[in-house]
Chain A
Amino acid sequence: MGSITLKNVSKVFGVHAVIPSIDLDIDDGEFVVFVGPSGCGKSTLLRLIAGLEDVSGGEIVIDGKNATDLPPAKRGLSMVFQSYALYPHMSVRGNIAFPLKMAGEEKAVIDKKVADAARVLNLADYLDRKPRQLSGGQRQRVAIGRAIVRQPEAFLFDEPLSNLDAALRVNMRLEISQLHQQLKTTMIYVTHDQVEAMTMADKIVVLNRGRIEQVGSPLELYHRPDNLFVAGFIGSPKMNLVAGAPAAMHQAHTIGVRPEHLVLSKERGTWRGTVGVAEHLGSDTFLHVNADGIGTMTARVSGDFPVTHGDQVFLTPDPQRVHRFDDKGMAIR
């Protein structure tokens, strides 16, 4: 069905190698998220899989067949774009029906499939409206509708939620996850938001400068980051990274401690510091502590912990949860 394999795939623009060489296996039915900072090549990688860009080298295998030189339409993939990319002159019905029309389906079949998709996506009441008469969330649902009617081997999502406001983003995140459970089709999802990656993915691919830093389940990446980049990128707030003498005590060049793995005390502890900013979220409080001789550390404490700006506190890392890295930034295990 919808398995995708990349073998030595590379992409060069002019003299600039955006993607030097990537190998990756995506199993049928998996929800895979490509995550990384802006310009890391994640969208380019998705467009290579889609066929919207030609590869400079390597092979793309979709469903066991070499698809490297196939045009986008022949790859059996559907894509949802960041800007939704709806056809502005067509109604919602026309937009969703477009891929079926292009495939030469009969009218009765088209009508049935459009109605089914509209029902799944709660769009039944809007079928005759134009895209400009819809809200951002509804537009995104139309884009998803247009993608699902083709019953593709796999869905490609290119930062589909970044144009939505925060509340809607959380809703749509849930809807896409539910859709995946319902359809059980392979999904590749590109985002720069690590919260989206953690919450939705079966497997996360962390990309940086066109290279894969690590592939694994969300919790694997959280608990066992391979290197400093993944350690710093996955988790919110970010992992505290400390080099120098405190790291040497753990026989490492750099150590990393997540904010939730720092024990806070007002009396005693390993590192002393002063609270700079306290962010009260209710359930949790994030403290930005200026630790003596180390720098700013972020700690996560329970929401009822009584602390304000200027208080002196002590931080103690949980020894079981200290991540150690060598001078090349690779994890020491």
Chain B
Amino acid sequence: MARNVSTQRKLLTTAAAWTIGILIFFPILWTFLTSFKTEAQAIASPPAFLFFDWTVENYFEVQSRSDYFKHFMNSVVISFGSTLLGLLIAIPSAWAMAFAPAKRTKDVLMWMLSTKMMPPVGVLVPLYLMFRNTGLLDTRTGLVMVLTLINLPIIIWMLYTYFKEIPGEILEAARMDGASLAKEIIYVLTPMAIPGIASTLLLNVILAWNEAFWTLNLSAARAAPLTAFIASYSSPEGLFYAKLSAASTMAIAPILILGWFSQKQLVRGLTFGAVK
């Protein structure tokens, strides 16, 4: 039943929603604005909001000093690489757990999730030593491997819940119709699960893109992604707010654009199964 809402109430709630939205968005907006200021304007008090001398100099300086595109490519390779590798492992795992569960499947799922509860710093030293001894330190391969392992429980869980929604009878019908296991996956399961696989992929690319703990600790110059690129602007040379803001904006922009265009898919993936 529709509720009657008065105009006044509508105005109030709209104003409240906008206020909260702007509050949450403000730091990003401020970073964006600061990136167009000079260093002096960036620390000026009181700060200028819109009326300052807009300049793109910071962006050029950041690019010339720390090669944005190299870090950008590292981020792309690490986030997409770890997600695709994760999907390759997770699809068969989720398939097995959703359609051929054993007595302990639920426990296995819970155990996988429990690994996410462990503080990562707890295994930093052993992992660091392993990486050093195997020559994986500061390589994209090493970071792809570690991020795959970090996000694998989430990928498997998302796909598992998605596959659970696909009626088993449809797959049985395919089996009766003469489909082999491979054909059943290619012609029946995958087309039906594509929205789920796509939203899992998107969410994990974002998670991997933003991951800072492992990427900062296990990379130096060669494999450093954008997270390390931003971090390099924080303290060692003193605080340069304008350049730091430009670097941050450049690091956020690609994933923000990706998220913007895929938000419908993301929301659908994250709320799937909540309402039927």
| A positions within 8 Å CB-CB of B | 50, 52, 71-73, 77-79, 81-83, 85-89, 98-99, 102-103, 146, 150
B178 touches A85 (CB 8 A): no
Of B177, B188, B191, B192, which is within 8 A of A73 by CB? B177
A87 touches B188 (CB 8 A): yes
A85-B167, A87-B188 as given contacts; A73 in contact with B178, CB under 8 Å:
yes
A73 to B183 CA separation, bound complex (whole angstroms): 12
Of A71, A79, A89, A103, which is within 8 A of B173 by CB? A79
B191 neighbours in A (Cβ, 8 Å)? 89
B178 neighbours in A (Cβ, 8 Å)? 73, 99, 102-103, 150
B187 neighbours in A (Cβ, 8 Å)? 98
B177 neighbours in A (Cβ, 8 Å)? 73, 98-99, 102, 146, 150
Of A79, A82, A89, which is within 8 A of B176 by CB? A79
A85-B167, A85-B170 as given contacts; A50 in contact with B192, CB under 8 Å:
no
A71 touches B188 (CB 8 A): no
Of B170, B175, B176, B183, which is within 8 A of A87 by CB? B170
B169 touches A73 (CB 8 A): no
B167 touches A77 (CB 8 A): no
- Which residues of chain B in 167-214 are interfacial with respect to chain A, using CB atoms and an 8 Å cutoff? 167, 169-170, 172-180, 183, 187-188, 191-192
A85-B167, A99-B178, A102-B179 as given contacts; A52 in contact with B192, CB under 8 Å:
no
A86 to B177 CA separation, bound complex (whole angstroms): 11
Residue from B167, B173, B178, B179 having most chain A Cβ neighbours under 10 A? B173
A17 to B174 CA separation, bound complex (whole angstroms): 28
B172 touches A81 (CB 8 A): yes
Residue from B177, B179, B180, B192 having most chain A Cβ neighbours under 10 A? B177
A73 neighbours in B (Cβ, 8 Å)? 175-180
How many residues of B are counted as interface, with CB atoms below 8 angstroms from the partner's CB atoms?
17
A83-B167, A89-B191, A89-B192 as given contacts; A78 in contact with B183, CB under 8 Å:
no
Of B169, B174, B175, B176, which is within 8 A of A83 by CB? B169
A82 neighbours in B (Cβ, 8 Å)? 169
- Which residues of chain B in 156-175 are interfacial with respect to chain A, using CB atoms and an 8 Å cutoff? 167, 169-170, 172-175
A83 neighbours in B (Cβ, 8 Å)? 167, 169
A72 neighbours in B (Cβ, 8 Å)? 172, 175-176
A79-B173, A81-B172 known; 13 other A-B pairs, CB under 8 Å? A72-B172, A72-B175, A82-B169, A83-B169, A85-B170, A86-B173, A87-B188, A87-B192, A99-B177, A102-B177, A102-B183, A103-B178, A150-B177
Chain A nearest CB, measured from B270 CB (Å):
22
A73 to B177 CA separation, bound complex (whole angstroms): 6
Q: Which 3 residue pairs of A and B lie closest in terms of their CB atoms, listed nearest first?
A: A102-B178, A85-B173, A99-B177
B174 neighbours in A (Cβ, 8 Å)? 87, 98
A87 neighbours in B (Cβ, 8 Å)? 170, 173-174, 188, 192
A88 touches B192 (CB 8 A): yes
B172 neighbours in A (Cβ, 8 Å)? 52, 72, 79, 81, 85
A77 to B177 CA separation, bound complex (whole angstroms): 9
A102 neighbours in B (Cβ, 8 Å)? 177-179, 183
A78 neighbours in B (Cβ, 8 Å)? 176
Chain B nearest CB, measured from A191 CB (Å):
17
Chain B nearest CB, measured from A228 CB (Å):
35
Chain B nearest CB, measured from A3 CB (Å):
20
Chain B nearest CB, measured from A124 CB (Å):
22
A66 to B183 CA separation, bound complex (whole angstroms): 26
B176 touches A77 (CB 8 A): yes
Q: List 15 A-B contacts (CB under 8 A).
A: A72-B172, A73-B175, A73-B176, A77-B176, A81-B169, A85-B167, A85-B173, A86-B173, A98-B174, A98-B187, A102-B178, A102-B179, A102-B183, A103-B178, A146-B177
